[in-house]
Amino acid sequence: MRAVPSHAVLPLRSLSLAYFVQATGALSVVGSLAAIAGEWGLSETQAALLVTVFGVTFAVAAPLLQVAFGHLPRRRQVLIGLSLFSSAALLFALAPNYPALLSARVAMGLGAALIGPALGALAAGLVEPPQQGSAIAMVLLGLSLAGLLGMPLAAWVAHAWGARALFLLIGAMGIGTALLLRGVLPRQDGAPAVSLATLGRALADPLLLPGYLVVFFIASAVYATYAFIAPFIRDVFHGGAHTVSAGLTVLGVAGVLDNLFVVRAARQHSANTMLLAGIGLLALDLLLLMLAPPSLAVLFAALLLWAFATDIVWPSQQRRIVALSVELRGVALALTASFVFAGIAFGSALAGPLYVHFGFHANLLASLGLLLLATACLLLPFNKPSQAGPARSS
């Protein structure tokens, strides 16, 4: 797997910025639960539901929007999605009550459902097949940067200036990113229209379906713990708002450095191998949190390992889907993103009740169980094509 050509670097970095904006807007609720709850008079469980609503909306909308708008050039899909996402973030900032917040998050989820699948497909289309793993990892660097800059900044802005200012900033960033992409992305022809029958074929494909389930269970496992990271840091590790920001910064810095390793490792190892390594490291990290005494040193060590593991997992699962599908790549990536956000929604919905009723260790055990299910789906006998070989046409 070769490095990407120089002419593709700026477009890929710009797509990475779009991923950064989407991830920051989608997950900023995680680091600012207390500020959101205080601003609108909510419980932390109600605030966490804003993550779940976003995830459910994305999961349902992403494939259906491919049916409705999949014939449009992917560049246009991203620009429309960013415009809707940014406008909804501004509406969130101005929301007078909880129902308005939920409505704004639904609209943000719809915008993100157009952005997410198109980003991976655009990245893959800008380079030759041997370079696609590196290209996708470059775009997903935006997810790591959301951890380095977006998440800690979101927590700090929400704490210092309030949750409304945070979402005003997210809306402005989205508009600016859309203008940048409009200038640097090459114009493209539209793709063939996606029918409901094509969507059903991509969903029921015997090689792709286990792949979707792998990412669903991984995302569920991650967010069954991560969705309540701020309350965990406060209650279990006895940290304040600044400790939450510091913890998210550690997570992000490690994620950016780890992404550089993952871009290179993707040239040498199959997606299946990388996924197994990432799942194993996540399980090891959960065991560390479960068995070690609750100290800030343990927390920061666990966050370093967490960043490394998730940086292996996210680009590897997208590369795996790209390798398994050529003709259905757009809809397959949309379905993959749907299963990711369905997993985020499911894990986030589990996180609150588990923590409130059973405590921190219940979240860790649930995450371990979900990782076991992900591993079982990954190792299914009919799900072992060589990821180093030619891409499979659906």
Number of domains within the chain: 1
Residue 194 CB burial class (10 angstroms; 0-12, 13-18, ≥19): buried
96 assigned to some structural domain:
yes
132 assigned to some structural domain:
yes
Residue 258's alpha-carbon distances to 5, 220, 264, in angstroms, are 22, 22, 10
219 assigned to some structural domain:
yes
336 assigned to some structural domain:
yes
| pLDDT on residue 189 | 63
207 assigned to some structural domain:
yes
Please state, in angstroms and rounded to a whole number, the distance separating the CA atoms of residues 6 and 15.
15
Question: How many residues in total does the chain contain?
Answer: 394
Please state, in angstroms and rounded to a whole number, the distance separating the CA atoms of residues 313 and 320.
11
393 assigned to some structural domain:
no
- Mean pLDDT on 298-317: 79
Three-state DSSP state, 191:
coil
Model confidence over 335-383: pLDDT tens digits?
887 888 788 878 888 887 888 888 888 999 999 999 999 999 988 764 4
Residue span of the structural domain in which 120 resides: 6-383
Three-state DSSP state, 13:
helix
Please state, in angstroms and rounded to a whole number, the distance separating the CA atoms of residues 263 and 3.
9
Confidence of residue 392 (pLDDT cuts 50, 70, 90): very low
Confidence of residue 385 (pLDDT cuts 50, 70, 90): very low
Cβ–Cβ < 8 Å for 366, 354? yes
pLDDT at 394 over 60: no
Average the pLDDT over each of 2-6, 256-260, 329-333 and give the range with the smallest value: 256-260
User: What pTM, to 2 d.p., does this model score?
Assistant: 0.71
Number of helices (H), then strands (E), in the chain: 17, 0
Question: Which one-letter amino acid corresponds to residue 334?
Answer: A
Please state, in angstroms and rounded to a whole number, the distance separating the CA atoms of residues 135 and 188.
18
Model confidence over 223-245: pLDDT tens digits?
888 777 777 777 887 776 666 66
Determine the distance from the C-alpha atom of residue 122 to the mean position of all C-alpha atoms in its chain, rounded to a whole number: 17
| pLDDT on residue 21 | 92
The percent of residues above 70 in pLDDT, for the chain, comes to 82
Return the HEC string of 302-313: HHHHHHHHHHHH
Please state, in angstroms and rounded to a whole number, the distance separating the CA atoms of residues 385 and 391.
10
- Mean pLDDT on 299-328: 76
- Highest-pLDDT range among 31-45, 124-138, 284-298, 356-370: 356-370
Domain of 80, CATH number, reads 1.20.1250.20
189 assigned to some structural domain:
yes
Model confidence over 169-181: pLDDT tens digits?
999 999 999 999 9
Question: Which one-letter amino acid corresponds to residue 295?
Answer: S
Three-state DSSP state, 270:
coil
Cβ–Cβ < 8 Å for 8, 135? yes
Rounded mean pLDDT of the chain?
Answer: 81
Query: CB neighbours of 217 closer than 8 A, spacing ≥ 6?
Result: 343, 370, 371, 373, 374, 377
Please state, in angstroms and rounded to a whole number, the distance separating the CA atoms of residues 286 and 136.
27
Question: Which one-letter amino acid corresponds to residue 237?
Answer: F
